[in-house]
Amino acid sequence: MPTAGLSPSRAKDFSRCPLLFRLRAIDKLPEPRTYAQLKGILTHTVLEQLFRLPPAERTVEQAISMVRPAVDDAVPPDDELVQLVAQAGGVEKLVDDVSGLVRTDFDLEDPRRLTPQALELWVQATIGGRRGAPTMKVRGYIDRLDVAPGTGALRIVDYKTGKAPGPSHNYEALFQLRCYALALWRSDGTVPAMLQLLYLAGGAVRREEPNVAGLERTEARLLALWSGIVRCARTGEWPAAPGPLCPWCYFKPRCPAFGGAAPLPPPDLLERLGLEEEE
Ligand code: SF4
């Protein structure tokens, strides 16, 4: 049976719209890949490869030389992505776009001076369970976990290939990294010293120093979201919650809020969520 758990992205989906969460996280309906996602994946790939090199080799020239091979690997000639890339302007534009994002990383930090402890690190921890409350797992991949030589202080780093949000959205933007910090803290008691988002389209940085009180608030928020998910699963009601992001929702044509008909939930929905049938 799968383990009950949430990544920060799926937690945000549920906060935004319970039906979107069900279709994406439980029904797992396929969604077409986008050019923006492809750029994001390639940028992450190149930066991961760069940080696996010895520090002295992490130059901007080295990084840019890695873009073309990464593109060739990700978009083989017979792949369905070829059409997507062609519609967006072609392979050369993709190489240019990714190179630009990678270059911006060098405007924001000097990769030769950093010490990653881990790259693409899978973190997972069980939270909840106090005073009879349900438990769940929080999980996800950390792009890069830096360690400060000497002090051993940890910094969670995440690359964003979209534009930085406005000041009123900064707190929400860091929710993902607070979840990762919570997972680290609940796994081995370490509270990272810093959370850092690097916005590579435009070049902006958002930082926060986490603390135990803040991580406990993130834990409470996740547990409340999980309770909401369990309630929807038990009642079979997954309401559509229209909002400003609906125009970009792939499921809009099937959404009851816009005159569509949502597919029936899968018969093993509870099992997919890691929940037992109620007696
Ligand atoms: S279109 Fe809007 S309301 Fe409908 S499923 Fe998507 S996010 Fe939810």
d(CA 104, CA 59): 12
Q: Which one of 13, 250, 252, 254 would you pick to mutate in the ligand 1 pocket, going by the greatest count of ligand atoms within 8 A of its CB?
A: 252
Q: Are residues 68 and 155 in the same domain?
A: no
Rounded to 5 degrees, φ, ψ at 207 are -130, 155
Q: Are residues 79 and 120 in the same domain?
A: no
268 HSE (CA, 13 A, CB side) = 6
Q: Are residues 109 and 144 in the same domain?
A: no
What pTM, to 2 d.p., does this model score?
0.93
- Report the nearest-CA residue for atom 7 of ligand 1: 246
Q: Are residues 99 and 121 in the same domain?
A: no
User: Of ligand 1's atoms, which has the minimum distance to the CA of residue 240?
Assistant: 3
d(CA 128, CA 151): 31
| Sign of the dihedral through C-alpha 6, 207, 171, 159 | negative
**Residue 5, pLDDT score:** 86
Here the CATH number for the domain that contains residue 169 is 3.90.320.10
Q: Are residues 185 and 121 in the same domain?
A: yes
CB neighbour list of residue 272: distance below 8 Å, 6 or more residues apart: 2, 26, 266
- The whole domain housing 189 covers 116-125+139-213
CA-closest candidate to residue 2, choices 276, 278, 277:
276
Q: Are residues 108 and 120 in the same domain?
A: no
- Report the nearest-CA residue for atom 4 of ligand 1: 255
Question: Parallel, antiparallel, or unpaired: how do β-strands 194-199 and 204-208 relate?
Answer: antiparallel
**Residue 279, pLDDT score:** 55
CA of 98 to the centre of ligand 1 (A): 30
Residue linked to tokens 């929400």: 172
* 47 in a structural domain: yes
Q: How many domains does the chain have?
A: 2
d(CA 27, CA 95): 34
* 184 in a structural domain: yes
Question: Parallel, antiparallel, or unpaired: how do β-strands 5-6 and 135-147 relate?
Answer: parallel
- Report the nearest-CA residue for atom 5 of ligand 1: 20
CA of 16 to the centre of ligand 1 (A): 9
| DSSP symbol at 163 | P
**Residue 1, pLDDT score:** 42
* 157 in a structural domain: yes
* 12 in a structural domain: no
Q: Are residues 193 and 121 in the same domain?
A: yes
Helix count and strand count (H, E) for the chain: 11, 6
CA of 108 to the centre of ligand 1 (A): 36
CA-closest candidate to residue 58, choices 70, 44, 43, 48:
48
Q: Which one of 10, 232, 255, 258 would you pick to mutate in the ligand 1 pocket, going by the greatest count of ligand atoms within 8 A of its CB?
A: 255
Residue linked to tokens 């093993």: 268
Of 213, 247, 262, the residue that ends a domain is 213
Q: Are residues 189 and 155 in the same domain?
A: yes
Q: Are residues 147 and 109 in the same domain?
A: no
**Residue 2, pLDDT score:** 47
* 162 in a structural domain: yes
Q: Are residues 95 and 168 in the same domain?
A: no
**Residue 9, pLDDT score:** 95
Of 113, 148, 166, the residue that ends a domain is 113
* 80 in a structural domain: yes
Return the SS3 of 15: helix
**Residue 25, pLDDT score:** 94
d(CA 79, CA 265): 31
Q: Are residues 101 and 147 in the same domain?
A: no
Report mean pLDDT in 10-residue bins for the chain, 279 residues.
Answer: 78 97 95 95 98 98 98 87 94 97 98 97 92 86 96 97 90 95 96 98 96 96 94 95 96 97 93 77
* 204 in a structural domain: yes
| Sign of the dihedral through C-alpha 274, 177, 43, 247 | positive
* 220 in a structural domain: no
Q: Are residues 101 and 120 in the same domain?
A: no
